[in-house]
Structure 1
Amino acid sequence: MANQQAFADVTEIMTGYFDGLYHADTKRLADVFHPDARYVNMIEGDYMNKSLSEYFEMVDRRTPPASRGEERVDRILSIQSGGTRMAFVTASMKMMDHEYLDFLTLTRDQHGWRIMAKVFV
């Protein structure tokens, strides 16, 4: 990344992202997603392209992995800088009996870093 502070900020966003998913907490997720973000599921046979509000409706209907006592397994695989206003994060996580690979595009505006697009398999 361009500097250590940007790296720390993006890492903090990812912590909120992982926390929000593990607890199925859309209030936490709203802090890390841009309001115009897109959610794209590329799992074969299960394609979805949703707005943030549509995605949050799905998350709200989930039983949180935390409440089922699932082991929390998530990690950042890479962070790439796109200058001072864009970053690309590759992350992996295991939850709900599936291993996910997420490609997240983050942008920085007057509100800080936020996830603009989530594409995963």
Structure 2
Amino acid sequence: MDPRYAELVEVLTRYFDGLYHSDAGKLAGVFHPQAIYACASEGSLTHLTMDAYLPMVAKRLSPASRGEARRDRILSIEFAGPVTALARVECAIGEKHFIDLLSFVRLAGHWRLIAKVFHFDLDQAAA
């Protein structure tokens, strides 16, 4: 197996853990400090920096504390070169089912998430 793939799987595991536990500190270790967070699922652009996004995560009630089953998985990982990758993943928080397109860059020997662009739908079965 390509060692880059295993490295990204480890980073994505921390990403999923951070979301499931609303652990902003863990997510801060995954995201590059200059990363962006963007979504247009509700008809307008939501665009946040990490300074705005991470405090939101820290304040929300975690899926773990609500006893939600984990519903996260890696759909694909594609490399655009030795230091650039794109992961397509899915996860769910409450009634929202997310498809995340996560762009990564490798800097100083570590993969960091530089852009999270995502779509969500409401999952009526979980609502």
User: What is the match of residue 40 of structure 1?
Assistant: 38
Aligned partners of 2:82, 2:15: CA distance in 1, in Å?
21
Secondary structure of the residue that 1:73 maps to in structure 2?
coil
User: What is the match of residue 83 of structure 1?
Assistant: 81
Aligned partners of 2:22, 2:44: CA distance in 1, in Å?
20
Task: Tell me the percent identity.
Answer: 41
User: What is the match of residue 97 of structure 2?
Assistant: 99
Aligned partners of 1:80, 1:16: CA distance in 2, in Å?
19
Secondary structure of the residue that 2:27 maps to in structure 1?
helix
> TM-score of the superposition, structure 2-length normalised?
0.89
Consecutive unaligned residues of structure 2, counting only runs of 5 or more, are 120-127
Aligned-residue offset at 1:46: 5.2
Aligned partners of 2:76, 2:32: CA distance in 1, in Å?
21
The letter for the 2-side match of 1:9 is E
Q: How does 1:8-19 map to 2 (within 5 A)?
A: 8-19=6-17
Q: Deviations over 1:45-100 (max 9, x none)?
A: 35310101100121112100000000101000000001100000000011121110
Change beyond 3 A, Cα 1:6–1:79: same
User: What is the match of residue 2 of structure 2?
Assistant: 4
> TM-score of the superposition, structure 1-length normalised?
0.94
Q: Which runs of 4+ in 1 moved over 4 A?
A: none
User: What is the match of residue 71 of structure 1?
Assistant: 69
The letter for the 1-side match of 2:110 is G
Secondary structure of the residue that 2:88 maps to in structure 1?
strand
Secondary structure of the residue that 2:35 maps to in structure 1?
strand
Aligned partners of 1:117, 1:80: CA distance in 2, in Å?
15
